[in-house]
Amino acid sequence: MEIRFFRDAPIDQEDRHLPADTYNLSRVLLARAGSGCLFVPIRSMQYLAVIDAEEIIFTHREAAREVEIAWTRFRPDARAGLDQPVAYRALYYRPDARETMKRLQGEFHKALALLDQRRSPGEPARILDFPGATPDAD
């Protein structure tokens, strides 16, 4: 399945830092997805985040195919440890996008944590032993 998102040239941009726990969790969940991208619903704001190897885009439910904000140019190599924030560039495609950013980083982290909680097994897997079943002998 292919989903296309559209965007014009950004109308504004700024350099920012993403907390280490948010960046690290986004990479772990992306790796677990195994499909090259991960969809993260941010229900509290009615946004959808789409994570891929190079950027994270955000769309609002009212314009679901139009990118409102993109986080790109992540610089995890510039940090000295995994517990340090990661520099990135925020690109804004709508006039009110900077206002949205005031809540977006925090709500994005909450949505990632919820997704991680739902996808993580509650306990280790175990093999069930069925009485009377015998393996086929050759």
Provide the pLDDT confidence category of residue 122 given band limits of 50, 70 and 90.
low
Q: Please give the pLDDT value at position 27.
A: 95
Q: Please give the pLDDT value at position 123.
A: 59
Residues belonging to the chain: 138
The percentage of residues in the chain with a pLDDT greater than 90, rounded to a whole number, is 74
Condensed to tens digits (0 to 9), the pLDDT of residues 71-94 reads 999 999 999 999 999 999 999 999
Task: Return the structure tokens found at 16.
Answer: 């920012």
Domain chopping of the chain, boundaries: 12-119
Provide the pLDDT confidence category of residue 134 given band limits of 50, 70 and 90.
low
Reply yes or no on whether the pLDDT at 137 is more than 60: no
Instruction: Report d(CA 58, CA 66) in Å as an integer.
Output: 9
Reply yes or no on whether the pLDDT at 35 is more than 80: yes
Average model confidence (pLDDT) for the chain? 89
pTM: 0.82
The residue among 91, 74, 78 whose CA lies nearest residue 26 is: 74
Instruction: Report d(CA 47, CA 59) in Å as an integer.
Output: 6
